[in-house]
Each structure stands twice: as C-alpha cells, then as structure tokens.
Amino acid sequence: MFGEEYFKTRKRLTDVVVRVLGLADKTDAEKTPLLDNDITKGLSNPFLFVVCGEVNAGKSTLLNGLFGEDVCKTNVLPETDRVQWYRYGEEAHDKDVTPILEERYRPVDFLMDFNLVDTPGTNSVVIGHQKITDRFLPTSDLIFWVFPASNPWGASIWNFICKQHKKNKGMLEKSVFILQQADLRDENDMEVILEHMRDLAQQRIGMVPPIFPVSGRLALQAKTETPLAEDLWRVSGYPALEKHISDIVTDSPARRQVLENVRDAAAKVLHNIEGKMELRTKLLEGNEGFLREIEAEVDKEREKQSSDFVGKFSGMREVFISQSAEIKEVVRKRLSVFPTLKSFFSAENIPKMIESSLVESVKSAVEKQAGDDGNHLVDECRKHWETVRPKIKEHLSIELGDFDQETDGFGKTHERFITRMGRASRQAVVNLKIRGGFDMQLVERRAHLKKWLYVALILLMVSGVTGAMKLAPYPYLSFGLLACALACVAGFMMRALSTRKEILESLDERLEDARVPFADALGVDYRDGVRDFYIEYGNLLGSVRQHISDAKLELQPNLEQWNGLFLELKEIEQNL
C-alpha cells in the first residue's frame, strides 16, 4: 500500500474528528468549522492518478501491476476509445457518463484511497477526448506518462506532453515517465534508451522528470503468486516506482494542507468544548455555593428554634409549678387529722402516689406542650420551604413540590418528639428524688403522732379502769386521767397540723428547688428533638444535592475524553 504513514495519520485524524463531534454534541458546543464540507471532504478524497500514453504502450498493464490483479482490460487492439475512471464500488459495474467518459466501479480496496484515470491513448482521434484529459490533469496527484520500451519516441505523445506542459504549469512536477514493457529489452539497451529519453525530455520540455523502466506484466505475475515472487518483483522495476508513489502520497503539500486544515478545525471545536465545560463547571460550583447558602440558612433556622427554646421552656417550668401546686393541695388533704388517723389503720403509700401523680400530670402537660411546639416547628419549616422553592427553581431550574407533597408533614418526627419529651419528663421527675425525702418525713411523723395517740389511749384506758374500780380519790383520779388523755388527743391534733405544715413547707421548698433542674433535664432532649426536625428538613434538599453531584459525575468522563482528544490532536500535529 502506498503512503501508509499518510493514511495512518488521516485515519487517526478522521477518528478524532468523529469523537470531537460526539463530545461537542454532548457538551452542546459549537461545531461549525468541522461541519464545513469543504474542510472535511478532503479527508475522504481519494488520490487521483492519471495514465497517459499511446495505444498499446502498456498503460492498462501498468495499472494492473499496481493493483496486483487484472482490473483493466488489456489488448493488442485498442481496448476502448473512452477515458476510464476507475473508482471503488462494492459491486463491479460500469457507468457511461458521457460518450467518451466511463466510470468503472470495482470492489478493489486500493480504489478506496486511489482513483485511476486510464486514457485510451494520445494517438486516438476522438473528439472531446482532449476536454476530458484537460479536466483530470490539473486535479490529479500524479501523472504517468507511459512509453513502450520498444519505441519511446513516438511523436504523438511527445507533442501531447509539450502541449499540456504549456497549458498546465506545474504539471511536470507531478509527472513521472514510465518505460513500460522493459522486459522486452535487455539491460544495455535500456541504459541507452534512458540516456536518450533524458536528452529528449531536456530538449522538448526543459526538464527531466523521474523515469522508471518497468514491466507491468512481470509485476502482475509476481504479485499474483503467493508468496510474492521476489525475483520477478525486483526485475519488474516496480519497487522503485511504488516507493516514488509512496513518497508523493506522503509528501503531497496539498494533501498535508487538507490534514492541517482539518486539524485546525478540530482544535477550534475542541476549544469551544473546553469553553462550554468551563462554563458548566463554574455553573456547578455556583450551584454548590447556592446550595451551601441554603443549608446555612437551614442551620441558622435550627439555631434560632433551639435558642427560642429558653422562651418556650419557661412554659415547661410553668407546667411544673402548676402541677406541683395541685400536688401540694392533695398532700395537704392527705395529711389533715382524720386522713392521718385513718392512715394508721390502712396501708397506703402517699409518697409513691404523689410521685406517680406528679409524673403523670407533668408528663401529659409536657407532651401537650411538645405537640404544640412540634406543630410550630413544622409550620416554620413549611414557611421556609416556600421561600426556598422559587429560589431553587430560578437558580437550578429544578421544580420541587410543595412542603406537603415532599413530606408527610414530618408526622413521624413529630410523634417521636412528643414521646421523647414525655419520657424525658418522667425521668426528670423521678430524678428529682422528691419521694425519698418525703418518705422519711412521713415515717418520722407517723411514729411521732403514734406516740401521742398511744399515750392518749393508755390514759383513756387507765382512766376507765380506775373509774370502774372506783379507786380513790374517786372520781378525781379517773377524771384527772381522762383530762390528761384529752390533752394528749389535743396534742396529737396540734402536732398533726404542725408537722403537716412543716412537711408541706419542705415539699414546697423541694418542688421550688426542683423547677430549674427539671427544666434543665429536659433541655438536652428538647434541643435534640428540634435538631431532628431540621435534619429531616435538610434531607428535603437531598434531591437538589443529588442533581448537582450527578451533573458533576457526568462532567468527569467528558473532561477525561477532552484531555485524551487534546493529546491525540497534539500528536497528530507533530506528525504533520
């Protein structure tokens, strides 16, 4: 294959162009210079070789030698009087373009990159033939002037060359002279003939193009043998010719320019892509900043709600005070004279009853307050969400549902908050250890009052006995004892009331002292509960966060592909 290096670079560039266009599509970048047909068409343009020479010079055989197969018909008689344009086609077929131009499509790989124009001969007299030759010569990459080695000085071809040379400046630079059918001459003759041709060329056209003595027939024969018949191949003179063709293909400035233009266009589009990606990265960074602002706002809102808790908590203290007032009333009743007396005869646990009643009432009051506060928090979140939604729509074009579409109104968190506060309040009351101290006081009181009662009863009994036995000084002794018993009962009653007062005072003091630790004990749970609401609220922004990180992930492979393409394009540039 001729010009392997060139075709490798061209293929690579074509691949890069396809991938650059793909990336441009993905990143929405401007592709204009690469869409310009004039620029990219050059990538697939085949090379054009034109073969000129007299009838029977061996032109068709020369081409078959290059193909390595019998593509062009050869004949002693003029095979055709038409110009034949050999092009690639998946099926072999011929197409008349004009009465003197015929397109011949052949499934030969070589033709994908090279088109060949086989002219019928400079000595053929076909009207209009000249016109066709005029059309192909200027655009051709290479012109083979074919001379039969048997007689390379035929007048008609030399006249034709002179005429074309005058019309087409630069034509000779891309011309080579082929001395075909060299196998018919021996080596010494060839030397003489070559010398003679050089002189003739100098005389007629003022320069000597490269001259290659070859034998198309031997070349074809060599190529059709497997493996290639090396000796025949060398003798055919084709190695030098093919090397020359390769050099022309690789060094063609026009072709190189095409590659450079395509490379420049690809670089431009790559630059556009870079711009788009930078913009996108900036936008995403902006989005992240925006999201951080909103998150900070949510944090601030949480802080605010947690710190407002001092105010709300005075409410919790009030709850405790009002509940303790009720409790004191109950205690006062329980410790009045008759219930106290009754309590000597029936088992009852006043401290336990007091504690559980306090626990229950405080718990339900705290739960109610927590329920109200929870509703308030949900309202605050809802209000805030309605300020966030339009901002996210404006900045990130993300449509978020309203608060109740996006959440269940924080129902579970709300319930958890209430349960948590209820439990905390129970624990807080128990931790106050009101019961322990109270218990001791009651035991002491009972023991003390019992003494009074027992003494009164004993006196009453003794007074009865002495009265019945009429012991002297009757009845003064029994009346005296009765009076003493009554005095003891009065003492009992007075002590019962005064100890009740003492106990109530100390209970009052204890409850008073407990107010602050009680509220403090709830503080931690309350703050955590508030935080729960805002954690759940913050999660609402999760879809936005996800959207941004998805977009970033999407960007990553594009960045990598861009880097790869940039490096490849740089390498191609160095090869050019």
Ligand X SMILES: Nc1nc2c(ncn2[C@@H]2O[C@H](COP(=O)(O)OP(=O)(O)O)[C@@H](O)[C@H]2O)c(=O)[nH]1
302 binds, among ligand X, Mg ion, none (CB under 5 to 8 A by kind): none
* 113 residue type, one letter: D
For ligand X, the closer of residues 57 and 176 by Cβ is 57
Residue from 3, 216, 237, 374 binding ligand X (CB under 6 A): 216
CA distances from 416 to 35, 363, 421 (A): 63, 15, 9
Residue from 40, 140, 164, 215 binding ligand X (CB under 6 A): 215
Rounded to a whole number of angstroms, the minimum distance from the CB of residue 80 to Mg ion is 7
Rounded to a whole number of angstroms, the minimum distance from the CB of residue 85 to Mg ion is 13
The contact set with Mg ion (CB under 5 A) reads 59-60, 79
For ligand X, the closer of residues 121 and 422 by Cβ is 121
Identify the H or E element spanning 148: strand 142-148
For ligand X, the closer of residues 56 and 463 by Cβ is 56
Residue from 60, 305, 324, 361 binding ligand X (CB under 6 A): 60
Q: How many residues bind ligand X (CB under 6 A)?
A: 19
Rounded to a whole number of angstroms, the minimum distance from the CB of residue 84 to Mg ion is 8
Rounded to a whole number of angstroms, the minimum distance from the CB of residue 269 to ligand X is 46
**Cβ-proximal residue to Mg ion, closest one:** 60
Please report the sign of the dihedral spanned by the C-alpha atoms of residue 250, residue 267, residue 42, residue 558: positive
Structural contact between residues 111 and 88, judged by C-beta atoms closer than 8 angstroms: yes
Residue from 9, 27, 40, 61 binding ligand X (CB under 6 A): 61
Q: What angle do CA 571, 572, 575 make, to 5 degrees?
A: 90
CA distances from 335 to 222, 310, 328, 346, 351 (A): 131, 37, 10, 14, 12
Both structure tokens of 534: 């805002």
For ligand X, the closer of residues 72 and 507 by Cβ is 72
Chain positions 241 to 300 lying near ligand X, rule: CB under 6 A, are none
61 binds, among Mg ion, ligand X, none (CB under 5 to 8 A by kind): ligand X
The C-alpha atoms of residue 57 and residue 151 are separated, in whole angstroms, by: 9
Residue from 155, 184, 461, 524 binding ligand X (CB under 6 A): 184
Q: Is 425 in the site for ligand X (CB under 6 A)?
A: no
Residue from 82, 129, 217, 500 binding ligand X (CB under 6 A): 217
For Mg ion, the closer of residues 60 and 215 by Cβ is 60
Both structure tokens of 388: 């966030």
Structural contact between residues 339 and 333, judged by C-beta atoms closer than 8 angstroms: yes
CA distances from 107 to 91, 92, 101, 114 (A): 6, 6, 20, 12
For strand 114-118 and strand 47-53, is the pairing parallel, antiparallel, or unpaired?
A: parallel
Both structure tokens of 405: 């579409």
Stretch near ligand X under the rule CB under 6 A, chosen from 28-36, 128-136, 191-199, 214-222: 214-222
For strand 93-98 and strand 114-118, is the pairing parallel, antiparallel, or unpaired?
A: unpaired
Both structure tokens of 451: 């003494």
Binding mask 78-97 for ligand X (x = CB under 6 A): -x------------------
Sheet holding 142-148, edge to edge: 93-98, 101-106, 83-88, 114-118, 47-53, 142-148, 175-180, 211-213
Rounded to a whole number of angstroms, the minimum distance from the CB of residue 123 to Mg ion is 12
Residue from 14, 45, 74, 80 binding ligand X (CB under 6 A): 74
9 binds, among Mg ion, ligand X, none (CB under 5 to 8 A by kind): none
3-state secondary structure of 399: coil
Which residues touch 455 (CB under 8 Å, ≥6 apart)?
A: 488
For ligand X, the closer of residues 141 and 183 by Cβ is 183
* 101 residue type, one letter: L
For Mg ion, the closer of residues 79 and 373 by Cβ is 79
The C-alpha atoms of residue 176 and residue 208 are separated, in whole angstroms, by: 9
Residue from 38, 76, 173, 346 binding ligand X (CB under 6 A): 76
| Among 64, 66, 94, 65, CA closest to 80 | 94
For strand 142-148 and strand 175-180, is the pairing parallel, antiparallel, or unpaired?
A: parallel
Structural contact between residues 340 and 496, judged by C-beta atoms closer than 8 angstroms: yes
Q: What is the Cα 491 distance to its own chain's centre?
A: 90
For Mg ion, the closer of residues 44 and 75 by Cβ is 75
For ligand X, the closer of residues 75 and 506 by Cβ is 75
Residue from 2, 16, 58, 367 binding ligand X (CB under 6 A): 58
Residue from 13, 24, 55, 157 binding ligand X (CB under 6 A): 55
Structural contact between residues 148 and 56, judged by C-beta atoms closer than 8 angstroms: yes
Q: Is 53 in the site for ligand X (CB under 6 A)?
A: yes
Chain positions 124 to 183 lying near ligand X, rule: CB under 6 A, are 180-181, 183
Stretch near ligand X under the rule CB under 6 A, chosen from 57-65, 257-265, 324-332, 471-479: 57-65
For ligand X, the closer of residues 16 and 222 by Cβ is 222
For Mg ion, the closer of residues 55 and 488 by Cβ is 55
Rounded to a whole number of angstroms, the minimum distance from the CB of residue 2 to ligand X is 20
Phi and psi for 371 in degrees, rounded to 5? -60, -45
For ligand X, the closer of residues 24 and 176 by Cβ is 176
216 binds, among Mg ion, ligand X, none (CB under 5 to 8 A by kind): ligand X
CA distances from 471 to 308, 465, 485 (A): 80, 9, 18
**Interface with ligand X (CB under 6 A):** 53, 55-61, 74-76, 79, 180-181, 183-184, 215-217
